Amino acid sequence: MVVALLLVIIFLGITAFLFYLEKRIRVSETKLKKLEEEKNRDKES
């Protein structure tokens, strides 16, 4: 029972970290998209 509970807590911690990582990746993707759009606009003008 204690081992199962401990493993569940560790596993939930890992998944929380993965959700956090995903959020950071999404933010980076949005920033990169904006940068690319700006760069394309500069090239066109």
**Chain residues that interact with other proteins, rule: CB under 8 A:** 1, 3-4, 7-8, 11-12, 15, 18-19, 21-22, 25, 28-29, 32, 35-36, 39
**d(Cα 12, Cα 4) in Å, to the nearest integer?**
12
Smallest gap, in angstroms, from Cβ of residue 40 to other proteins?
A: 10
Smallest gap, in angstroms, from Cβ of residue 28 to other proteins?
A: 5
Structure tokens at 8: 């569940």
Structure tokens at 35: 């940068």
**d(Cα 19, Cα 7) in Å, to the nearest integer?**
18
Smallest gap, in angstroms, from Cβ of residue 35 to other proteins?
A: 6
